[in-house]
Structure 1
Amino acid sequence: MTFTQTELRYLLGQPLGRLATLGPGGPQVTPVAFWVDTATHRIEVSGPNFGATQKVRNIRADARVSFVVDDMATEPVGPGGQTGRGLEIRARAELLVADQPLREGFGNVLARLHPRRILAWNLDGPGRNSRDV
């Protein structure tokens, strides 16, 4: 298992993440839709015309990515009354062509993220928790 049950529930409840790739001019960060395969704990990212994007060209050149999902809780969850919580997932991205798009209006190219390191804050308890996976 890659994610804790709390982390997995959190990811499944969030509609949007930010994917950071390494491009020729430096990091590129883009909001993206994502899905979590609950059996393998892999994250899949796609979008409209995803296969023709700079993100995909960046991944082809360097498969190292960072993926962030975060939000503000309605009640304090962290030290000192902080309400921010989330996950940063450092991963290796694998580009695939799916039989069907993940969502209507999306292309069938997707990036499957294979987590290497997880940094969580204010999810399984107050404060930061990081680990290699």
Structure 2
Amino acid sequence: MTFTRTELRYLLDQPLGRLATLGPGGPQVTPVAFWVDTATHLIEVSGPNFGTSQKVRNIRTDARVSFVVDDMASEPVGPGGQTGRGLEIRAHAEVLAAERPLREGFGNILVRLHPRRILAWNLDGPGRNSRDV
């Protein structure tokens, strides 16, 4: 398994992430909707007009991406009373055409993320941890 139970539960509870791609002018970071396949632990990202977006063009040139999901917990979860928590997922991205859009109003082009490295903070316990997957 790629994600711990706590990490997977956390991802399933979050509505939005930020996808960073490498473009001709440098990094581009964009908020995106995402879904997690609980069987494979792959993440799918899509949106309206996604197939013509700069982020998809960037991925077709360089498939290395970083995907961040984070929030503020209602109770302290980290050292010194920190409430920030989240995941950074460094991944290889693959552009695909789905049979149908993942959500109404979206196009059928999606990006599937294959995690390579996971950096977590204040999820499975206080502080940071990271690992290759």
Query: Do the two structures share a fold, i.e. TM-score over 0.5?
Result: yes
The number of aligned residues is 133
Give 5+ residue unaligned stretches, structure 2.
none
RMSD between aligned alpha carbons? Answer: 0.2
Distance 1:32 1:91 in 2: 15
Instruction: For residue 57 of structure 2, give the secondary structure of its aligned residue in structure 1.
Output: helix
Distance 2:65 2:54 in 1: 13
TM-score normalised to the size of structure 2?
1.00
Give 5+ residue unaligned stretches, structure 1.
none
Give the deviation of 1:46 after TM superposition. Answer: 0.1
Distance 1:95 1:114 in 2: 11
Distance 1:107 1:30 in 2: 17
Percent of residue pairs identical: 89
TM-score normalised to the size of structure 1?
1.00
Letter of the 1:83 partner, please give it.
Answer: T
Give the deviation of 1:22 after TM superposition. Answer: 0.1
Distance 1:27 1:69 in 2: 17
Q: How does 1:85-96 map to 2 (within 5 A)?
A: 85-96=85-96
Distance 1:51 1:16 in 2: 19
4+ residue runs over 6 A deviation: none
**1:14 match:** 14
